[in-house]
Amino acid sequence: MLKRIGILSFILLNIGCDQISKDLVRKNIEPMQYVQLVNDNFILTNVENTGAMLGFGSDLSPILKMIFLQGLPLIVLLVLLARMLQKSNLNRWMVLAFTFVIGGGIGNLIDRIAYGSVTDFFQIKWGVFRTGIFNMADVSVTVGVLLLLFLVFRYRNLSI
């Protein structure tokens, strides 16, 4: 029971950080405004992304968007969450990684369902390195996936 509360708490923490940061951006940054936080290296903006990562799928019909950007991700996230809550012998780092992925995924799903788009607002530029515009949910998913990759390569017998 305590494990389940911990899992749900970490997921809610990820969702909360994402939704609060997006709400602050929507209320305080005009669409397409360009705010330099650290010179020209760390930029704050406000962009509504109607697709997935880097705008993928933004040209899909509304029904296909609903299927591929809302329905399927929701099913996958719920299956992952159910598996995590059911299993008792999961590696705690694996659980942490999945809480980041699930929390970030749900954060972006909330936007897609509530607003029809995802609010993105961070961009990093460092020399030739330049990211797309992203949000805290994207950071959560990325951290979770990187941790999962590390764990899979480090401990080959992990499963979920």
Give me the active site residues, please.
120, 138
Rounded to whole angstroms, the Cα distance separating 122 from 47 reads 9
C-alpha pair distances (Å), 141 with each of 33, 39, 62: 25, 27, 25
Rounded to whole angstroms, the Cα distance separating 38 from 23 reads 22
- Compute the Cα dihedral for 22, 24, 26, 30 and give only its sign: negative
Residue closest to 111 by CA, chosen among 35, 26, 45: 26
Instruction: Give the type of residue at 146.
Output: L
CB atoms within 10 A of CB 5: 9
